[in-house]
Amino acid sequence: MDSILVRGNGPVTGDIEIAGAKNACLTLMPATLLSEEPLTLTNAPRLSDIKTMTALLTSLGAEISSLQEGKVLTMSSHADLNPVADYEIVRKMRASNLVLGPLLARLGHAVVSLPGGCAIGARPMDLHTTALEALGAEIELKDGYLHATTRGGLKGAVHKMRFPSVGATENFVMAASLAKGTSVLENAAREPEIVDLVACLKKMGAQIEGEGTDRIEIQGVDRLHGATHPVVTDRIELGTFMLAPAICGGEVTCLGGKLSLVESFVTKLNEAGIEVTESARGLTVKRTGDRVKSVNVTTEPFPGFPTDLQAQMMALLCTATGTSVLEETIFENRFMHAPELIRMGAQIEVHGGHATVHGVERLKGAQVMATDLRASVSLILAGLAAEGETVVSRVYHLDRGYEFVEKKLSGIGAHIERIKA
């Protein structure tokens, strides 16, 4: 099993190109199931999760070709589709559940295994199933699989979610695009990945209004056609690499970055003493003092502070002046990186959904273990600011969500290398 070796070596300087968004691409790919015509995605990230979704869609009958070293994906679902999403593929990734809505809309029935992914919380499927049931689906859980059917096809309806789930919003919007009549989703998620999905669906002929707000209205159409669509910039990779100069000094420009994608995150960086400027090239980040200031952070649905940047922010605050409190409100099991940071000399106390971080002057290198995708990169960031060497094991998590992380960080002067098993 591969590991990552990081040597703390002072400031970093240069440019980092930000990839297309993993979470957006994993949402856009199942949209191919909604049409018999080809869907082409450009600016696709080259990640193991994308390979997993490719395998899943291929098992369902889609044809997928990868061009330009994986940055362009051309997909076609013109053949007869298989309605069964098998456990052996679905167990590897939470986003696999996003085939449920498109299969129901296209075929009228689907059998989808309960999904896997990072062990950061329960993330129940009931938000998805109740949303689709509002459109007329009948869903039953049997032997670990969701068996979903419709009687006469999906029908437009009004549904209010009890929580603005990103995945459930995406499943509802895709399914409702081919439903009969008008559908309204209230308390919808507002993330940029949803706005990106809707932009793609509109190119395919869908009639949707309200994306980016908490109320989305969909007028169902009889069929969708093919389209070409660029995947939006990955705001989580963007925020992650913005923290490199914040945690160890220097100045880095994240190419393609936009402030609108990370406003709440940048607000906290500014409070901590980090300068962020926007230009046509992207976002340039510079630390203004020797150490950052302590700040309090609460994760919230977009446009609030992203849960997917909480672990990385904790790594930064480990060396801040003073005491910071991080509150996790999205996933109940997302402080598993804290014990690993403590191994590096951090002073952290976790009580339920709160973590109190007492800043220390310097972290120390250690052998640590990645527990999930975002935790893995938080430990790498901590290693950049630590004395000596840090070895991060179980980095298969990292490869699910970060494209060429060693190459990108090496390009700005970090001492980082992969140790092959």
What is the arithmetic mean of pLDDT over 128-141? Answer: 95
* Residues 308 and 237 placed together within one structural domain of the fold: yes
Residue 399 counted as an annotated binding residue: no
88 and 152, same domain (yes or no)? yes
Domain shared by 290 and 185, yes or no: no
Q: Is the pLDDT at 324 greater than 90, yes or no? A: yes
The count of structural domains within the chain is 2
**Is 372 annotated for ligand binding?**
no
Say if strands 39-42 and 72-76 run parallel, antiparallel, or are unpaired. antiparallel
Q: Are residues 212 and 268 in the same domain?
A: no
Do 119 and 196 fall within a single domain? yes
Edge-first strand order for the sheet with 347-351 is 297-298, 323-327, 354-358, 347-351
Query: Any binding-site annotation on 306?
Result: no
For the cut 70, the answer to whether the pLDDT of residue 116 exceeds it is no
Q: 367 lies in which domain range?
A: 3-18+233-419
Residues 203 and 303 in one domain: no
The pLDDT of residue 170: 98
Asked if residue 303 and residue 172 are part of one domain, the reply reads no
Rounded Cα–Cα distance for residues 308 and 237 (Å): 10
pLDDT at 186: 98
Token pair of 394 as six digits: 């179980």
pLDDT tens-digit readout, 3-47: 999 999 889 999 999 999 999 999 999 999 999 999 999 999 999
Pairing of strands 227-230, 39-42: parallel
Give every strand in the sheet of 182-186, ordered side by side.
158-160, 182-186, 215-219, 207-209
User: Has 23 been labeled as part of a binding site?
Assistant: yes
Catalytic choice (118, 248, 254, 318)? 118
What's at 129, amino acid-wise? T
H/E/C letters for each residue in the chain? CCEEEEECCCCEEEEEECCECHHHHHHHHHHHHHCCCCEEEECCCCCHHHHHHHHHHHHCCCEEEEEHHHCEEEEECCCCCCCEECHHHHCCCHHHHHHHHHHHHHHCEEEEECCCCCCCCCCCCHHHHHHHHHCCEEEEEECCEEEEEECCCCECCEEECCCCCHHHHHHHHHHHCCCECEEEEECCCCCHHHHHHHHHHHHCCCEEECCCCCEEEEECCCCCCCEEEECCECHHHHHHHHHHHHHHCEEEEEECCCHHHCHHHHHHHHHCCEEEEECCCEEEEEECCCCCECCCEEECCCCCECHHHHHHHHHHHCCCECEEEEECCCCCCCCCCHHHHHHCCCEEEEECCEEEEECCCCEECCEEECCCHHHHHHHHHHHHCEECEEEEECCHHHHHHCCCHHHHHHCCCCEEEEECC
Predicted local distance difference test score (pLDDT) of residue 123? 47
Domain boundary among 208, 230, 252: 230
Question: Considering 230, 249, 270, which residue would you say is the last residue of a domain?
Answer: 230
246 with 253: CB under 8 angstroms?
no
User: Per the omega criterion (within 30 degrees of 0), is the bond before 339 cis?
Assistant: no
Q: Which of 188, 205, 230 is the last residue of a domain?
A: 230
Mean pLDDT, to the nearest integer, of 205-232?
98
Binding residue per annotation — 313?
Answer: no
Alpha carbon of 329 to those of 67, 292, 340: distances in Å?
39, 24, 21
Q: Are residues 217 and 316 in the same domain?
A: no
Cβ atoms of 404 and 71 within 8 Å: the answer is no
119 with 8, same domain: the answer is no
Is 118 marked active-site? yes
**Banded pLDDT at 127 (limits 50, 70, 90):** very high
The reply to whether 303 sits in an annotated binding site is: no
Q: Is residue 123 marked as binding?
A: yes
| The pair of three-digit structure tokens given for residue 144, joined into one six-digit string | 């670990």
**Is 124 annotated for ligand binding?**
yes
Residue 330 annotated as binding?
Answer: yes
Are 210 and 225 in the same domain?
A: yes
Is 83 one of the annotated binding-site residues?
no
CATH of residue 209's domain is: 3.65.10.10
Percent share of the chain, pLDDT over 70: 97
The yes-or-no verdict on residue 318 having pLDDT over 50 is yes
Note whether 198 and 241 are same-domain residues. no
Residue 125 pLDDT: 83
User: Are 292 and 226 found together in one domain?
Assistant: no
To which residue do tokens 């990945």 refer? 193
Residue 349's contacts (CB-CB under 8 Å, 6 or more residues apart) are 355, 356, 358
Render pLDDT for 344-367 as a digit per residue (tens, 0 to 9): 999 999 999 999 999 999 999 999
